[in-house]
Amino acid sequence: MARMERSTIKTDTKKAVNSAWMVVEGMPKIKDAKIKFPGQLDKCCTEDTIIATITSYTEVATSLAMSTSTLEHACSIPTTPAS
C-alpha cells in the first residue's frame, strides 16, 4: 500500500516525465506507436534523461536510437519475439 501512496497518475506526458532521470516505455506491441513514441518522449524529457524501450522489434530499437537527441541516452531492453 505504501507504493500506491507514493504513486501519481498523469495524463500529460510532459508533466509526467519532465523531472525523470529515466523513462521506460512499456506500451503494448503496436509497432507504429512504439516507433513514434520515443521521439515524442525525447521532446518532453531533459537532455540527460535516459529513454528505454522494452521491445522485440528491431525497428523500434533503431527508431529509439535515431529519435533521441543524445544516442548515449537511448536503451533498448530486448524481449523474446512473439510467436
The confidence score (pLDDT) of residue 60 equals 67
| 83 assigned to some structural domain | no
Q: Do the domain assignments include residue 9?
A: no
Does 8 reside within a domain? Answer: no
CA atoms of 79 and 54, how far apart (whole Å): 7
Q: What pLDDT was estimated at residue 32? A: 82
- Is the distance from CB of 76 to CB of 57 less than 8 angstroms? no
Give backbone dihedrals phi and psi of 25, rounded to 5 degrees, phi first. -85, 130
Note whether residue 43 is domain-resident.
yes
Residue ranges making up the domain that contains 57: 14-78
**Is there a domain that residue 73 lies in?**
yes
Count how many domains the chain has: 1
Q: Is residue 42 part of a domain?
A: yes
Position 4 in a domain: no
Q: What is the pLDDT of residues 25-78, one digit of tens each?
A: 888 878 788 778 877 888 888 888 888 877 776 676 677 666 666 656 666 666
Q: Is 83 exposed, middle or buried (0-12, 13-18, 19+ CB in 10 A)?
A: exposed
d(C-alpha 21, C-alpha 40), whole Å: 16
The answer as to whether 7 is a domain residue is no
